[in-house]
Structure 1
Amino acid sequence: MAGVSGCIKYSMFIFNFFFWVCGTLILALAIWIRVSEDGKEILTSSGDSSANPFVAVNILIAVGSIIMVLGFLGCCGAVKESRCMLLLFFIGLLLILLLQVAAGILGAAFKSESSRILNETLYADVKLLSETSDNGKEFREALTLFQKEFQCCGLVKGAADWGNNFQQISQSCKCTNNVQNSCIQYESTFVYNQTCLSLIKDLVEKHIIIVIAIAFGLAVIEILGLVFSMVLYCQIGSK
């Protein structure tokens, strides 16, 4: 009868040990943010006050816990040659992989819809730029920093989007090098001709591509984990 491959056994252990360590770090960080005063300060000071700032932290706690449990099952299943633990590890990892595939399919199916919603949201937010009240203050501050970093001005109509607020943010729109008609004059100030709308959309698309690449890399690792666990499971059964 065939024995258990030591290479697969210890490869499985090392793989799941790092898997467990990653889950522990994610869980520890999420719990620290959730319970510590410093963490609460960070959450409440950044983000929309109308949204629950702890939703993302709760998700991280759940993800970290699941990764820890799966890593533990994989490590113990490999070392103790437990078919039950390896089977539970296989099922858990398979469910995660299926959820990733489902999320990818839904993301691809609703990509055009997401682009439309983003476009409509940005067009709706234009009116916040010319307001002088606290409404939309965070958005104005964020766009001011974005303008300075990415050398653009306004969202749709350029500097005119800012209305009476233009003089307050003019430095972030100020254009110093007029290369290939990149600058135009507005209220005696040379500002960037490029609006920020298209740049924001391009940036979002680039981040989506990065997320897809990370998800693809995780899927490859998960498939390897599934293969190793099933091979080890079968080898233990045939001992």
Structure 2
Amino acid sequence: MSCFSFLKTIMFVFNAIIFLGGITVLGIGIWVKVDGGSFLKIIGSASPQLMQVVNVGYLCMAVGGFLILMGFLGCCGAIKESRCMLMLFFSIILIIFIAEIAGAVVVLAFSSLSQIFIDYIGTVAVKYLREDYGSDNELTTVWNTTMKEFKCCGFYGYKDFSNSTYYRNHQEYPPVCCSSVSPCQPNNISSEVKGCFKAFEHFLSQNGKIVGGVALGICGLELAAMIVALVLFCQIGNR
């Protein structure tokens, strides 16, 4: 087998996996939105904690659609030897790669700018917690799942819910902030329950090497995909 044929095979297999994965994720997203009841029964019987993810159907559909597009471009570009498809595939991966590098540079080199961004995110998060938590089902589900998994309360802390719509309607803080204690009042909230931002920072500090390894692995795969696509593009042009 020639080097060119080997690269075509690798490109096809790799993107076929991405394509099939995209179809699976898209199918799950459509299933969640169309028949959420049966999805809840199956997921709930397997893991009750995962019942809160039913409202991420649109995210699954978006991710699945993107994976299908990338897999299609990679597979067809390699098999049909289409330079246009290969270049489009290369360009999309390159844009994602540059965005990831730019984000890393901003976080590492411009801490003041990243702090401004974090402050902005915090302001928006607290605003939605106070105005929409408890009334917006999807937002409430996402926050409940996050607070359960990270054992946290609010963005900065439980006081984010003070004077909130939820507190005015129920005269207590979200039950997830107090575990099994009811009603959930400040004296029932453990001092160990921090804001989700602090909990996420702690998670990153404890699992930084794993997160960094996964990030480097993804960047490595993206770089390899770009190199293979570019090599195929050049060799097809020289044939």
Q: TM-score range by the shorter chain?
A: 0.5 to 0.7
Structure 1 vs Structure 2: percent identity of aligned residues? Answer: 26
Whichever residue aligns with residue 125 of structure 1, its letter is D
Match in the other structure for 1:37? 36
TM-score by length of 1: 0.61
Match in the other structure for 1:222? 222
The alignment's C-alpha RMSD in Å is 3.9
Gapped runs of 5+ residues in structure 2? 45-50, 127-153
Q: CA deviation at 1:107?
A: 5.1
Q: CA deviation at 1:121?
A: 3.1
For the pair 1:134 / 2:170, whether they are aligned, the reply is: yes
Distance 1:111 1:207, change over 3 A: farther
Cα distance in 2, alignment partners of residues 10 and 66 from structure 1: 22
Cα distance in 2, alignment partners of residues 24 and 92 from structure 1: 19
Higher helix share: 2
Aligned counterpart in structure 1 of residue 186 of structure 2, from 162, 168, 172 = 162
Q: CA deviation at 1:233?
A: 0.8
TM-score by length of 2: 0.61
The 5 Å alignment of 1:83-122 reads 83-106=83-106, 109=110, 110-113=113-116, 114=118, 117=122, 121-122=156-157
Q: Hey, which bits of structure 1, 4+ residues long, moved more than 4 A?
A: 39-42, 105-111, 206-213
* 3-state SS, counterpart of residue 121 of structure 1: coil
Count of residue pairs the alignment pairs up: 186
The 5 Å alignment of 1:1-239 reads 5-38=4-37, 46=52, 56-106=56-106, 109=110, 110-113=113-116, 114=118, 117=122, 121-122=156-157, 124-125=159-160, 127=162, 134=170, 137=173, 139=174, 141-145=175-179, 162-163=186-187, 166=188, 195-197=192-194, 201=197, 203-208=199-204, 209=208, 213-239=213-239
Q: CA deviation at 1:65?
A: 0.8
Q: Which has the larger radius of gyration?
A: 1
Higher relative contact order (CA 8 A, sep 6+): 1
